[in-house]
């Protein structure tokens, strides 16, 4: 009969919902999960090793400082020696200029006295005056540490002597047999070499 109530179909809405659901809606969506942080366990520093490292660094620094000190001290000593040498050189240069001007005067006085001795005029008042002046020069030279160069009878020394000629002699070859001009030193430095004649062996007849 048309007046009977219709039976309610509960499966119809479910079917409709199923039709509306897109395909693949049942797939599982992956979720990224962060891994927990890994805590690195650092062992405590070894106090002995740390102390040894510090000692090694301090020892290295000490050695470097000592080396710098030695180099500085050596440089300072070299500078001091150089300054001293330059000062001595300057003093000697100034002193030698004056002395070299005086040496020819002394040479002439010695020649005058030698001539007087050969002429038997040693008692001449003029000769006595010349001898007095020469003694004064000699005394002044001594105060200035000026000394004569030994030459007569000595082996020839190119550092002290200047050979003018050679002469046959009974003396050993290379021996100074005559001094033509006296040489002089100021301290241990040569002012003027001695002009000498050197012996040579006699030729066989």
Digit-coded pLDDT (tens) for 164-202: 999 999 999 999 999 999 999 998 999 999 999 999 988
pLDDT band for position 10 (cuts 50, 70, 90) = low
CA torsion 60-66-67-72 (nearest 10°) is 150
Q: What is the structure's pLDDT at 32?
A: 66
The CATH class, in words, for 146-205 is mainly beta
Whether the Cβ atoms of residue 198 and residue 156 lie closer than 8 Å to each other = yes
pTM greater than 0.75 (yes/no)? no
185 has which bridge partners?
A: 147, 190
Q: What is the structure's pLDDT at 27?
A: 59
Nearest to 98 by CA among 161, 194, 191, 180: 191
Burial of 178 (0-12, 13-18, 19+ CB in 10 A): middle
Angle separating helix axes 125-143 and 47-118, nearest 10 degrees? 180
pLDDT band for position 9 (cuts 50, 70, 90) = low
Q: What is the structure's pLDDT at 173?
A: 94
Summarize the confidence of residues 42-68 as an average pLDDT.
87
- Mean pLDDT in the chain? 84
Summarize the confidence of residues 83-89 as an average pLDDT.
92
**Domain edges within the chain:** 54-144, 146-205
Minimum mean pLDDT range among 13-17, 59-63, 119-123, 157-161 = 13-17
Within the chain, strands assigned E span 146-148, 161-168, 176-181, 184-186, 189-192, 194-200
Q: What is the structure's pLDDT at 26?
A: 56
**What are the φ/ψ torsions at residue 23 (nearest 5 degrees)?**
-65, 145
What's the chain's length in residues? Answer: 205
Residue with tokens 């200029």: 97
Q: What is the structure's pLDDT at 48?
A: 83
Nearest to 140 by CA among 174, 88, 170, 95: 95
Query: Distance between CA atoms of 95 and 185, rounded to whole angstroms?
Result: 12
195 has which bridge partners?
A: 162, 181
Encoding tokens for residue 81? 């020696």
Q: What is the DSSP string of 116-131?
A: HHHTT-TT-HHHHHHH
């Amino acid at each position: 009969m048309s007046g009977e109530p219709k039976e309610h179909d509960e499966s119809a809405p479910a079917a409709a919902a199923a039709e509306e659901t897109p395909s693949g809606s049942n797939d599982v969506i992956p979720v990224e999960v962060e891994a927990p942080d890994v805590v690195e366990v650092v062992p405590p520093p070894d106090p002995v090793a740390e102390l040894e490292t510090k000692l090694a660094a301090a020892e290295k620094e000490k050695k470097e400082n000592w080396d710098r000190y030695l180099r500085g001290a050596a440089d300072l000593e070299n500078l001091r020696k150089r300054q001293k040498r330059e000062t001595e050189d300057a003093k000697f240069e100034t002193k030698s200029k004056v002395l070299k001007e005086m040496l020819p005067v002394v040479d002439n006085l010695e020649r005058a006295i030698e001539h007087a001795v050969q002429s038997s005029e040693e008692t001449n008042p003029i000769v006595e005056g010349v001898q007095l002046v020469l003694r004064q020069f000699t005394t002044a030279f001594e105060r200035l540490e000026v000394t004569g160069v030994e030459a007569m009878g000595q082996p020839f020394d190119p550092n002290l002597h200047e050979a003018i000629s050679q002469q046959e002699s009974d003396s050993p070859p290379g021996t100074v047999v005559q001094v033509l001009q006296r040489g002089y030193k100021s301290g241990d430095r040569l002012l003027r070499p001695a002009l000498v004649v050197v012996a040579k062996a006699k030729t066989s007849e």
